[in-house]
Amino acid sequence: MTSATSLLGALADVGADRVRGGYSRHGFDRVDVELREWFTAEAGARGLGVETDRNGNLWAWWGAPGPNAVVTGSHLDSVPGGGAFDGPLGVVSALAAVDALRAQGFRPARPLAVVVFAEEEGGRFGVPCLGSRLLAGTLDADRARELKDPDGTTLAEAVRAAGLDPRWLGPEPDLLSLVGCFVELHVEQGRGLVDLDAPVGVASSILAHGRWRLTFHGEGNHAGATPLADRCDPMMPAASLVLAARRAAGSVPGARATVGRLVPTPGGTNVIPSTVDVWLDARAPGDADTRRVVDDVVAAAHEAAEAEGCTVTVREESYGDTVVFDSGLRDELAGVLGGVPALPTGAGHDAGVLAQRIPTAMLFVRNPTGVSHAPAEHAEAADCESGVSALARVLAHLAGSPC
């Protein structure tokens, strides 16, 4: 039997980012392939049968795949410079929970599987929950194949390099129909459990959220030889957009808007850029509020672009409406765990994608810093083991009797 922290320890050097700190592990890159091989070996060592689906998600089956399966798992990829727990904690906790159940002599009455979803963060190809969205058919496969990473490599090329056939990408209703319920354990991305003094909780809802790419087009020119009056500098409206995002989100209760990525082209210190790409991440408790924030930001972007003699194009890269997790399953699992608290989250998850199709729940493990998507993300070893124990009890409850 293994602890979650010792399994995480085996990954301590994989994808460590020497420049940003933390980890940079992105879908289908060299590090991701190493992580996938690690998972396949760990699952194989437990006698689980590992299959890769058409979209690069890994499924490790305890028993033969079949209907009404109880599925748990998370993801192994990260944001650029992300923490050690976001994603991997759910995967290693699932493996450790299988060990704990085996040690108790538990035999599942329903098929049980541990899944690793591909490119959950969208850190390479821009679209979050790529693997689960493709599986569920909520992302068009033709569009997905053409997605490009910052180096210009398409998803089709990347999956081919990782040994998959890009023609296979797309919905898998037969596989999805085997899933009776899905439970994802995740480090909490906030301080809700700290404030409640609880090591483990269940999720109630996820904010509506999406990503928009705004490209400002101006005139590339010389930083010294071009008088201010002669400039069409796309960095000016880009800067206005950053401030407009904070303003717009601040006017809607519970909303968030973030610019975490901005790329000027060509990107020289003494060069007025010809274009600036800005990515807007916007979230709010409801669909209408999220759209309102984005509409306000886009209107401000157009106005600022016009004032500078520039133009702007806007593209929605991803969008997911508010997710309210199955209340029956949530309350059932909270009860199995002795009445643990239920919390909303502002973070997106594969569980949010699956919740649109099947009964889905999430378990959160306390994060003492409350920080996530950054190296300071943390969970204490004792809380990780509380998470494993909670997940094992939940899996035993769900898979312990035929449905």
Binding-site ranges for Zn ion (CB under 5 A): 86-87
CB under 8 Å to 402, separation ≥6 — which residues?
A: 68, 109, 110
Number of H helices, E strands in the chain: 13, 15
- β-pairing, 69-75 vs 112-117, is parallel
Give the nearest distance from C-beta 189 to Zn ion in angstroms.
8
Nearer to Zn ion, 80 or 108 (CB): 80
CB 298 within 8 A of CB 310: no
Of 86 and 377, which has the nearer Cβ to Zn ion?
Answer: 86
CB of 214 to Zn ion, least distance (A): 26
Residues 136, 148 contacting (CB under 8 angstroms): no
Distance of closest approach, residue 77 Cβ to Zn ion, in angstroms:
9
Contacts of 322 (CB under 8 A, 6+ apart): 205, 206, 207, 208, 285, 286, 287
Cα-based distances in Å from 330 to 132, 205, 326: 21, 10, 6
Among 381, 399, 221, residue whose Cα is nearest residue 308? 221
380: nearest Cα among 179, 21, 388, 130: 388
Residue 350 beta carbon to Zn ion: minimum distance, rounded to whole angstroms: 8
Bridge partners (DSSP) of residue 365 are 187, 200
Minimum Å distance from CB 204 to Zn ion? 17
Pairing of strands 200-206, 256-265: unpaired
Least Cβ distance, residue 117 to Zn ion (angstroms): 9
CB of 123 to Zn ion, least distance (A): 11
From CA 114, how far away is CA 46, in angstroms rounded?
12
Judged by beta carbon, residue 342 or residue 362, the one nearer Zn ion is 362
Minimum gap (Å) between residue 121 Cβ and Zn ion: 7
Measured between alpha carbons, how far is 170 from 131 in angstroms, rounded to an integer? 9
Residue (275 or 367) nearer to Zn ion, CB: 367
Q: Quick one: 100 or 185, whose CB is closer to Zn ion?
A: 185
**Distance between CA atoms of residues 181 and 201, nearest Å:** 18
Nearer to Zn ion, 178 or 365 (CB): 365
DSSP state of 20: T
* 166: helix, strand or coil: helix
Residues 6+ apart with CB under 8 A from 40: 50, 58, 60
The residue (of 42 and 86) whose beta carbon lies closer to Zn ion is: 86
CB 229 → Zn ion: shortest distance, Å? 48
Q: Where do runs of H (alpha helix) occur along 105-234? A: 130-136, 141-146, 155-161, 173-176, 192-196
Q: Which is nearer to Zn ion, 110 or 256 (CB)?
A: 256
Closest CB to Zn ion among residues 25, 54: 25
